[in-house]
Amino acid sequence: MVRKYTDAELLQRVESLDSFKRFPKDFWILGVRSKADLPDKFDDKFYLFEGKKFHLVTSGTTNPAISILQGGFKNYNKNGGAVVHSNKWYYNVWKYGLHKKLMPALLQLGAKIDVHRDGDFDNKSEELGESISGWYGINFHANTYDLNNKKVVDDIRGWSAGCQVVNNTEKYVEFIEKCKGQSFVSYCLIKEF
């Protein structure tokens, strides 16, 4: 799992990125990709900030599932699974809606996201080759359609083909409730440091 950080450490790190313009005034999400990158495990973290004020943290994944990395990506893109480019801000990227018309989520209906196409058929989620920018349906959602489910699971299984996925439903609902009234939600993804 990602190590513990102070709010100041996280804010200083995201402010140092080349893509940093400003801290959003409203709610925004920070993803931290684990150094361990355990195959098919929810070993990353998501933090919810409002401006510079910390609100919540939960576990999740910023990586595609093994089933995608080992060839399932061909159902979406022949070049590889979508691995979001890290150490970058994505301002106004997500808007509240329904993931697959079933789950309240944050959908990529705003800005483009940069992804790498991992197509080497192994168990590791890697930022291979040049990143490409576009609308790939990189959403922020939970790992269940039952938002009353209180079970926190460890395995990603089929829940991510590139989406940013939370495995703690109670925390996920809190994230969504705080963000759903905004026009758009910004996202920043960094590597564990």
Give the chain's domain count: 1
Whole-angstrom CA distances from 150 to 102, 142, 168 are 18, 12, 7
Q: What is the pLDDT of residues 146-170, one digit of tens each?
A: 999 999 999 999 999 999 999 999 9
Is 2 part of any domain? no
Is 1 part of any domain? no
Q: What is the pLDDT of residues 39-51, one digit of tens each?
A: 999 999 999 999 9
Residue ranges making up the domain that contains 25: 7-191
- On the question of pLDDT at 33 being above 90, the answer is yes
Q: Quick one: average pLDDT of 79-94?
A: 97
Is 68 part of any domain? yes
Please tell me the distance from the alpha carbon of residue 138 to that of residue 107, in angstroms, as a whole number.
Answer: 7
- How high is the pLDDT of residue 1? 82
Concatenated DSSP letters for 19-54? T-----SSEEEEEEE-SS--TTB--EEEEEEETTEE
Is 49 part of any domain? yes
- On the question of pLDDT at 85 being above 90, the answer is yes
Q: Does the global pTM surpass 0.95?
A: yes
Is 161 part of any domain? yes
- How high is the pLDDT of residue 135? 97
- Give the burial class of 12: count Cβ atoms within 10 A of its Cβ; 0-12 exposed, 13-18 middle, 19 or more buried: exposed
